[in-house]
Amino acid sequence: EHLVVAADAGLHHADALGLRVDLVVGDLDSVDPAVLAAAEAAGAAVERHPAEKDATDLELALDAVSDRSVERVTVVGAGGGRLDHLLANLVVLGHPRYAALRVEAFVGDARVAVVHGGAEAVIEGEVGAVVTLLPLGGPARGVRTTGLRYPLHGEDLDPTATRGVSNIVVGAPASVSLATGTLLVVEPEVFAR
């Protein structure tokens, strides 16, 4: 069973894909009123928030799914064409309050997965695919990888260094785990292949 949540103008993307939206959240400053009315007529609930809020629409959507006992979240288009929104939303994906969710995002041609301390994740890329491991919110400690050209054996990655950038999958499926911290696992050009 799937729950489709549209964050503001994400409703347009869902509509273009022919998805039935269960919930629309946000300040709704970027959504066509006719598209919103059609979604409501089809049964979508709407959580309207003030424009002057302390969270992005994506954060509001993640809060909404967290309250509904969802286990896995797929985010499509996390930036809305703005670099500041993209960066803020990538940081939000790794927030500790979403640690119980299995979160992945598709942004442009890239797949981004979030891995929290104490967890292991499969790296989806095929042999030859590029993968980057980016610590988020502080150091990622005790990072271990399998199936990558430049393996890590319980090492730390610092968020102000670029050591985790541009590794290569040499054995599929590859994996990554860490003791503490949070990692963004970025697989660029997933859709360019």
- Mean pLDDT, residues 32-49 taken together: 92
> Is it the case that residue 1 has pLDDT exceeding 60?
yes
Sheet strands (E) in the chain = 5-7, 23-26, 45-48, 72-76, 102-107, 110-116, 120-123, 130-135, 140-146, 153-157, 167-168, 174-177, 182-187
> What is the pLDDT confidence band of residue 178, given thresholds at 50, 70 and 90?
very high
Arithmetic mean of pLDDT over the chain: 90
- 108-135 pLDDT, tens digit per residue, is 888 999 999 999 999 988 999 999 999 9
Amino acid at 15: D
Q: What is the gyration radius of the CA atoms in the chain, in angstroms?
A: 18
Question: How confident is the model over 42-93, as pLDDT tens digits?
Answer: 999 999 998 888 888 889 889 998 878 788 888 887 666 778 888 888 999 9
The residue with greater pLDDT, 137 or 191, is 137
% of the chain exceeding 90 in pLDDT: 52
CA distance 154 to 152: 6
Kindly report the pTM of this predicted structure.
0.85
pLDDT at position 80 = 67
Say if CB 9 and CB 81 are below 8 A apart.
Answer: no
pLDDT, residue 58, reads 87
Band (148; pLDDT cuts 50, 70, 90): very high
pLDDT at 193 over 60: no
Cα distance between residue 116 and residue 96, in whole Å: 8
Whether 58 and 7 have beta carbons less than 8 Å apart is answered as yes
pLDDT at 3: 87
